[in-house]
């Protein structure tokens, strides 16, 4: 398994109840600053965070994504697994 660099930024769709439900437990865990959360459905979402990637906001609204401090991306279940590893 590759090393994960912290912090992990978790991109999620807060307007989707299933997605928000997946993220809610992570937000309650004491993760000592190893996790940051970005709600991609928020009006003030800045797509500039995706500069230099092929990803767009529409992509982030479909799946949970996580990006580590070295710019490595994880998607879906892999993103959630990465986030939970950061929390413990």
- Rounded Cα distance between 4 and 21, Å, is 24
Q: What DSSP string describes 11-80?
A: EE-TTSHHHHHHHHHHHHS--TTSEEEEETTSTT--GGGGTTSS--HHHHHHS-EEE-TT--EEETHHHH
Q: Is the pLDDT of residue 88 over 80?
A: no
- How large is the average pLDDT for residues 32-51? 95
Instruction: Specify the 3-state DSSP secondary structure of 88.
Output: coil
The domain limits of the chain are: 8-87
pTM above 0.85, yes or no: yes
* pLDDT tens figures, 12-31: 999 999 999 999 999 999 88
- Rounded Cα distance between 14 and 41, Å, is 6
């Amino acid at each position: 398994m590759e090393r994960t660099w912290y912090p992990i930024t978790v991109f999620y769709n807060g307007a989707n109840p299933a997605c928000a439900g997946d993220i809610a437990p992570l937000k309650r865990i004491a993760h000592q600053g190893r996790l940051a959360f970005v709600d991609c459905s928020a009006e003030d979402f800045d797509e500039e965070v995706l500069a230099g990637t092929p990803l767009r906001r529409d992509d982030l609204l479909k799946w949970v994504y996580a990006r580590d401090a070295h710019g490595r991306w994880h998607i879906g279940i892999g993103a959630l697994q990465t986030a939970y590893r950061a929390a413990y």
